Amino acid sequence: MSSTRSQLISLLEQGSLSRADAELAAQASGVLPSSGVWLRFLDRTLLILGSLALGISLVFFVAYNWFEFGRFAKFALVEAAIVLATLVYVFSRETHAIKLIHQVSLVMACLSLGALLALYGQTYQTGADPWQLFFNWALLMLPWLLLSRSSWLWLLWCGLLNISLFLWVDAYGTPRFLPNQGYTTMMWLVLALNMSFIAVWEFSSSHVGWLNNRWAIRVLGAVVTWVITTLTIGPIIDNYYTPSTLLVLFIIGGAGVYYRYRKPDLFMLALLALSVSIIALVWLADVLFLSHSDFLGSLFFMCIATLGMGTVSTVWLKRMHQQITNLKVTV
Amino acid sequence: MTTANQPIEMLRNTLQEKGIEVKPTPSLNASDLDSPWFVTLLSIGAGWLAAIFMTGIFILLFFDVFGNVAALLFCGIGIIGLARFILSGTPSDFRQHLALAISLLGQFLVTYAIFESKNNQFSTESSSLFMLLCLHLGLLVVMPNTLHRYVSAIAVSVCLGLLFGSLSWHQVYPAVALTLIALLTLNEFSSWFPGKILMPLAYGLALPFAFPVAYNSLLNEVIINKITHATWLLDLSMTLPLLAIVLVLVRRHKASKLVLLTAVTAAIIIGLLSIELNGIAAGCAILLLGCAHSSRALVAMGALSLLTQTSFYYYNLDTTLLIKSASLAGLGIALLIMRWVMLIKFKPRSVHSYGVQS
């Protein structure tokens, strides 16, 4: 659904609203905010910016004096940050005014936990692998996650597990039961991990209200789209197709059907359209340029193909946008 | 009446209840619906990629033209004219993409011609950039397509910055750009304002503040060896647009003298602090403009500007971490005190009982 501002501008551009009445209409519709809206904006902005400035100031102060601190002073500092953030979380209530403080304090506690583990590893040189830092960080913050009802933290947790996977494969290589294709196998593992995150999140969001934050699922969707596109482009460029390439196309098709009919989401459909367009264009470029055909003709076909794919994608997405909007309005 | 019209119908009813006349709107089809930003981004990407291929085709076909400035100019303007002609037909997505790609090719040829002519004794870098600026301003007015206007607005912003850089005026460019953004945004709903043409320009001018890394990389190509040491002047100069914005907004709401005094004091404090914390005055100004006109794009750019400038501050080698820590602490305390004063003086209850802006 369009915002009020874009609707007002639309009325002006169509000539339905006279330019002479534009300012009055903007005030009446709330596009020019009232004093109450200004107060709320300034209240939140000053709180966020002031807190951020103080927090960053503290970080800079610690960084300046870091080498002067002894081992225990460093630990005490980080642990104090965790305790303080947790206390703020426990004693702040989820009222409208300070819901933001409530959420931010727990995020700060989780980030400070990571800093503590890094400091521990750096100070005692335990010989642990880097992947263990991120994995243990994800494990230790799990209880907070379950209490928090915060999509931000769950997304951070997914990010930590992704980093752990990257570092684990980097240290030990891919598991023996998988075909050893190095980078490709690692990308398949990342794909499997993130697709399972999306599957669990989509399933849970139907039953748990606070998980129904589309933006977080869309971030994971963007990661999966990037991996899928990379996994398909590689075999095209190397001219080495495997059955797994078909599997990727099957995943794209399945995701398209799910986000078109089961849980309509325009952003996810746009990601899939982008992926399909890139794959198609890379395949076409491979066929045209590497088959030593006429260079000028190849450029011409690529230009037409790009325009065509862009147009088809945009038209289809706009049609989907209208259908999804109509569906939401009807519901 | 289609269900796609329903949200606009609600706005129309609200306006009519308040005595504002609204004529019937034509029924909407899919291409008229407000496209989400990621769909627009997809369109822009496709247009740019197609333009690159078209440029390759043109270079291969008309390689000899590239030695002749007049021929290049003629071809470029002719191709832009073709794009204009395509856009004058019934609006469709295919026409939009095709016209954008063709127009970008034409613009590339004209740009090449302008900089090719720079090599003669009558032309300078500044004059070339000025001609390029005029080209993109002209396209902003002439091309009847929103997507094309956004692309032209970005080009205007880059050309203006490079022009100021070539004239060694790069110290005042941010203040000039901020003033223009303020003028354009605050007059958006004035009766004389051609919003369709000028609001994309405001967004284009605000973009370098949100993505200073990309902008500075471009500018550094032009201003090498022209750096002056009066950088405090640059930072302080951005306080003036911020003050002007605050004064206009306070007057618009017919606020009391106390509100006026508080707002002006806050703007001056932010301006003075921006000498140390470069760029925060600009970020705050864009954020205020975004809230003043419910523009999510400007609010996002203002917030991004503040975050980016704060990150840059860490890497600033002119001051120690201790002084940076003190500056940030001072800023944080000042902001929280402002908030406290605001909540005490302006009826705390009203802060929590306001309605939600749609």
A56 neighbourhood in chain B, CB within 8 Å = 310, 328
Condensed to tens digits (0 to 9), the pLDDT of residues B230-284 reads 567 777 788 889 999 999 999 888 888 888 888 898 888 888 888 877 788 889 9
Task: Categorise residue A30: left if φ over 0, alpha if ψ from -120 to 50, beta otherwise.
Answer: left
Chain B interface includes A289 (CB < 8 A): no
Chain B interface includes A296 (CB < 8 A): yes
> Which residues does A122 contact at the CB level (< 8 Å), separation at least 6?
none
- For chain B, positions 298-317, list CB contacts with chain A under 8 A: 306, 310, 314
Amino acid A35: pLDDT: 84
Condensed to tens digits (0 to 9), the pLDDT of residues A117-166 reads 888 888 887 777 788 889 999 999 998 888 877 888 898 899 999 999 99
Amino acid A296: pLDDT: 86
pLDDT > 70? residue A328: no
- For chain B, positions 47-106, list CB contacts with chain A under 8 A: 47, 49-50, 53-54, 56-57, 60-61, 93-94, 97-98, 101
Token look-up 């994800």 returns A138
Chain A interface includes B192 (CB < 8 A): yes
CA distance A97 to A12: 36
C-alpha dist (Å) from residue B63 to A113, B58, B80, B111: 62, 8, 19, 16
CB atoms A3 and B325 under 8 Å: no
3-state class of B284 per DSSP?
A: helix
Of the candidates A46, A104, A98, the one whose C-alpha atom is nearest the C-alpha of residue B336 is A46
CA distance B122 to B100: 32
Which letter does DSSP use for residue B22 in this model? B
One-letter amino acid of A117: L
> Which residues does A41 contact at the CB level (< 8 Å), separation at least 6?
A33, B291
Mean pLDDT in residue range B72-86: 91
Q: Token pair of B353, please?
A: 């009982």
> Which residues does A316 contact at the CB level (< 8 Å), separation at least 6?
A273
Compute the nearest-CA separation of A113 from chain B (Å): 22
CB atoms A54 and B332 under 8 Å: yes
CB A5 within 8 A of CB A30: no
Compute the nearest-CA separation of A130 from chain B (Å): 26
CB atoms B354 and A40 under 8 Å: yes
CA distance B312 to B82: 44
Token look-up 């519901």 returns A331
Condensed to tens digits (0 to 9), the pLDDT of residues A6-18 reads 888 888 888 888 8
CB atoms A57 and B328 under 8 Å: yes
Percentage above 90 pLDDT, chain A:
23
- Chain A residue at shortest CA distance from B302: A45
CA distance A139 to A147: 14
Query: Which among A46, A299, A325 has CB closest to B336?
Result: A46
Q: Token pair of B12, please?
A: 């129309």
Compute the nearest-CA separation of B358 from chain A (Å): 6
Whether the pTM exceeds 0.80: the reply is no
Beta bridge mates, A17: B22
CA distance B6 to B4: 6
∠ CA B288-B289-B295, rounded to 5°: 110
Compute the nearest-CA separation of B165 from chain A (Å): 32
The total of other beta-carbon atoms located within 10 Å of residue B116's CB is: 17
Of the candidates A316, A313, A321, the one whose C-alpha atom is nearest the C-alpha of residue A275 is A313
